[in-house]
């Protein structure tokens, strides 16, 4: 199905106005105590239903989060080399997921004290 430029502009404008109207309706509706209570109840049910999934996700990502926290701690204290020596497994884990991208994790930030 091919659309010309005018049709595409019209479709985008209709979508944009609809999204704006929906947002306005929600902003009015979210102040309603009845809506708030229904929303909270729905959230509680979802949380209760998916407790095990949340626990499972936490356990799966626990080591990765520990590695990231340790890395940022040593980065803040300018001791990246010490991090690599003390936690080679965590460093390797972060390298495997390409966490460093543009960073240079092997080099500490040197501050010049010559002022």
- Per-position DSSP letters for 48-107, written without gaps between them: HHTHHHHHHHHHHHHHHHHHHHHHHHHHHTT-HHHHHHH-HHHHHHHHHTT--TT--TTS
List pLDDT tens digits, range 6-48. Answer: 999 999 999 999 999 999 999 999 999 999 999 999 999 999 9
Angle of CA points 13, 2, 16, to nearest 5°: 10
Q: Taking the complete model, does pTM exceed 0.75, yes or no?
A: no
Phi, psi of 31 (to 5 degrees): -85, -15
């Amino acid at each position: 199905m091919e659309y010309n430029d005018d049709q595409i502009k019209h479709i985008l404008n209709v979508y944009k106005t609809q999204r704006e109207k929906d947002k306005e309706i929600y902003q009015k509706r979210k102040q309603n105590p009845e809506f708030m209570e229904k929303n909270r109840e729905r959230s509680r049910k979802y949380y209760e239903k998916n407790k095990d999934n949340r626990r499972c996700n936490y356990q799966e990502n626990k080591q990765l989060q520990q590695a990231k926290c340790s890395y940022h701690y040593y980065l803040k204290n300018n001791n990246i080399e010490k991090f690599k020596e003390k936690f080679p497994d965590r460093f390797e884990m972060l390298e495997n997921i390409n966490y460093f991208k543009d960073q240079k994790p092997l080099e500490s930030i040197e501050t010049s004290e010559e002022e």
